Amino acid sequence: MLTLMLLAGCAAGSNFKPTTAEGASCKAQCAKDMARCSGSSYTCDRAASTCMTACEELDAIKKQVR
């Protein structure tokens, strides 16, 4: 359980602070995916970083649409 929380904390520890529901949902999904990552630390970190970048972009797009 502690490992799960630590892995989720890595993705959730991003500086990205969502401003839309879609951005928040995306960030939560990144954290869940990171917790299930079974690759190397480098691979999982890169995947989390890519996921968070996508969430930031989604959040920005959704914010402009509103």
Reported as a single tens digit per residue, the pLDDT across 36-49 is 999 999 999 999 99
- What would the two tokens of residue 18 be? 């969502």
Instruction: List, in order, residues 6 or more apart from 13 with CB less than 8 Å away.
Output: none
For the full predicted model, state whether its pTM sits above 0.85. no
Res. 58: pLDDT tops 80: yes
Res. 21: pLDDT tops 90: yes
Average pLDDT over residues 31-36: 94
**What proportion of the chain, given as a percentage, has pLDDT over 90?**
74
Nearest one of 3, 21, 9 to 45, comparing CA atoms: 9
Mean pLDDT of the chain: 84
